[in-house]
Structure 1
């Protein structure tokens, strides 16, 4: 498997694509992902379902998920927070792997980014999580974007989150917490709704 080639941000910080990063948080060796390109144009409203992809899981993972209907789509911070929360919330009792978490995040993703995520290999839930029927408890803390990140404009916004994931077993087991910084790029459509077009991590 070929490891992805990290991109340079204006500050020079190296990051890896989001799917691989989630695999790392789950302590699963991940396959490298292709370079993820930024969406150049305005986002369009995603279809109800993305063709040729598995359906989103119907079971709700333990750990808590935001309600898409309650998220203010005209608030880039709210949309980015909801997307990251969902993408990192995995439950060994209901999920086959982290790909299920990405499918649950479709309501927040541009069609192009959702399709790229679907096309990439995703790490399986670790066996130790399955042994304890564990789920991810995700904690997010906002961070000031790194130097060199452009300010919001009419079509594009950037947000940065400190992510802490702790596996919690239904039998009382608690695994070690892992951390990442999630860099989120969003694009705004003609109806002023924000959509996540990229997530990368450090």
Structure 2
């Protein structure tokens, strides 16, 4: 698969995949993650359907074996929930997205490994973490990933808050956020590839108003 600039590719199955546009793997499964029952956002802020955080590849053939995960720490390290104010939904959402879009081809077999890394670091609800860990990518990494891997590239992730009046207001146990997520690949050989940006909608939940937020789902367009 190649790096696509098409937004909002959807998967009708339980989980979906890809990397801001570098297709592959880490989707979740919608809202079954705790928090109160609320009306879903309007189409300008799509509901957490489990179609993200990445668009799903549609290549032919049988699914590859279930990934085993990254074999190390990505260049720049992995931010953990304890590094931020966990009662701040913005801080938790930012931290989770940064980890989920930090790819390191020197240690990762594909983009799915970053989602597993976010789950293992503790950024996600148990239900969402389980879905990411057990998700089976529908395609092997494509030409774009192979190009990155040829340079032993990793991504530098930057986020810009993107406001949307259609997103529901926060409650004590549920919050919605959205960011423009930019990932720029940089090789260990000093190569720099073209960066890609998507808009990521994040659902965060917690058991009570004095508890830590966790990411319950991510949808990309």
Structure 1: how far apart are the matches of 2:175 and 2:25?
A: 29
* Equivalent in the alignment of 2:129: 114
Q: Would you say the 8 A contact 1:110–1:197 is kept in 2? A: yes
Q: How well do the aligned residues superpose, as a CA RMSD in angstroms?
A: 3.0
- Whether 2:4 is the aligned partner of 1:25: answer no
- The structural deviation recorded for 1:81 is 0.4
Q: Which residue of 1 aligns with 2:212?
A: 193
Q: Distance in 2 between matches of 1:179 and 1:115?
A: 26
The answer to whether the aligner puts 1:73 opposite 2:86 as a matched pair is yes
Q: Among residues 154, 171, 175, which one is paired with 1:135 in the alignment?
A: 154
Aligned to 1:148: 166
**Aligned mates of 1:121, 1:105 — CA distance in 2:** 17
- Name structure 1 gaps, 5 residues minimum: 7-16, 44-52
Q: SS of the counterpart of 1:108? A: coil
CA offset digits 1:108-129 (Å, max 9, x no partner): 1011111222232346371111
Report the TM-score when normalising by structure 2: 0.69
Query: What SS is found at the alignment partner of 2:82?
Result: helix
Deviations 1:134-153 (A, max 9, x none): 00111111111x23211000
Return the alpha-carbon distance in structure 1 between the equivalents of residues 75 and 94 of structure 2: 18
Instruction: Figure out how many residues of one structure are paired with residues of the other and give that number.
Output: 176
* Structure 2: gaps of 5 or more residues: 1-9, 37-65
- Relative to structure 1, the CA distance from residue 94 to residue 115 in structure 2 (aligned partners, 3 Å threshold; closer, same or farther) is same
* 1:37 corresponding residue in structure 2: 30
2:141 to 109, 124, 128: 124
Q: Partner of 2:39 in structure 1?
A: none
- Residue by residue over 1:52-104, the C-alpha shift from the partner in whole angstroms, topping out at 9 and shown as x without a partner, is x9776462211453243212111111000000000000101111112221111
Q: State the distance in 2 between where 1:62 and 1:167 align.
A: 12
CA separation of 1:39 and 1:32: change in aligned 2, threshold 3 A: closer
Shift of the 58–68 alpha-carbon distance from structure 1 to 2, 3 Å rule, reads: farther
